[in-house]
Amino acid sequence: MSFYSREASNFLPVINLDLIDKGILSDLLNNCRITYEDLSRRHGISANAVKKRVLKLEESGVIDHYSIRLSLAMLDAQYLFGLLQTDGSQDEEVFVNKIGDSPSIVAAAAYSDGHYALVAEYISTVELMELGTYLRTLDGVEDVELHTLVSKRGAKTDLSTNHLKALYYLRDNPRISIVDLARESGMTARRVRRLVTELVEGDSVFFTANLELGEAGSIPFLARVAWNERNTEYESVIEWLMSKYPDSLWEWYISVSEPVIFCLFTAEDLNEMNSKAREIRQQDFVDRVKVIVSSYHDGFGGPRSRRLDELIQEVLKK
């Protein structure tokens, strides 16, 4: 879940992202261990040019850090998107962290007009009920929407001791080179390369980038798009959005419970944001569009992150 920057970064250069930057970031979101050579072939520029772009994205703060998480299938978990309406009396930073006190929360963000968004994971209906109760009883909360999402579940596999040993070092630096990983882990480069390949291709562990879109000088905003399921399917809605806004649509969350898609966009200014909302609203397959502007966010790890730490710690104790 990528939102506005946590704090104003006046000492970092603001950069404007082009379509190549967007493509590189999308590839790093899907697999942050992708090589400069592979990115070069995908985007038609030299590996050295790719490296310079990635370093610039890191130095500017657009790429905040890289991280590892288990697949949903590894925990038999479900992915959840929530939207809270409050009375607006809250300190945004304090309230975001209050939301994050729930063990189910992965990330939370403050938006305009007293709105807060969150991403959570739950394993049982009891956990879902407990999360709903917790959020509804927070001071100042007037309404809570919780949406189970259409999500990539990945695979469920047994991670070996050596897999977890490699993950111990990869967790701190998911893009660490094979040579450095071999040296730090004490395993051979050949074994390390095989283990990392199995982890990346096994679909039970995901390597990703965490972004701060506000550092690119853009305004991140969330669009709640209610689409007409009588005359179209959500795949068609997403396909249209991706083709219409290839440089500004970053993430989307598709509700299972109702025909709603929550889309994370960026815009250069409020006029562009309102123009995008108007364009989407004018489509025959769209019923309603509401937009809110991001102001602050934070991440909290969540159940999958904690479970990965537990598995690694179990190996270290042996």
User: pLDDT averaged over the chain?
Assistant: 91
State the virtual CA torsion across 46, 48, 54, 57 in degrees, nearest 10.
-100
Q: What is the pLDDT of residue 214?
A: 75
pTM of structure:
0.88
Q: What pLDDT is attached to residue 212?
A: 86
| Whole-number pLDDT of residue 316 | 78
301's torsion region: left (phi>0), alpha (psi -120 to 50) or beta? left
pLDDT of residue 247: 87
What's the rounded mean pLDDT across residues 294-314? 91
Tell me, what DSSP letter sits at residue 158? P
Place of tokens 């102001």: 295
Examine the pLDDT at 187 and tell me if it is beyond 60.
Answer: yes
Strands in 93-246 per DSSP E: 105-111, 115-122, 141-148, 205-211, 219-227
Q: Write b or e for each residue in 1-32: b if 16 or more Cβ atoms lie within 10 A of its Cβ, otherwise e.
A: bbbbbbeeeeeeeebebeebbbbbbebbbebb
Q: What is the DSSP letter of 212?
A: B
Enumerate residues 6+ apart whose C-beta is below 8 A from 210.
2, 63, 64, 65, 66, 67, 299
Q: Residue 8: its pLDDT value, please?
A: 35
Work out the pLDDT band at 318, boundaries 50, 70, 90.
low
The enclosing H or E element of 76 equals: none
> Per-residue pLDDT for 98 more than 60?
yes
- Residue 11 predicted with pLDDT over 70: no
Ranking 111-125, 129-143, 149-163, 202-216 by mean pLDDT, the lowest is 202-216
Place of tokens 């493509």: 23
Q: Kindly state the average pLDDT of the residues 230-252.
A: 93
How large is the average pLDDT for residues 108-121?
96
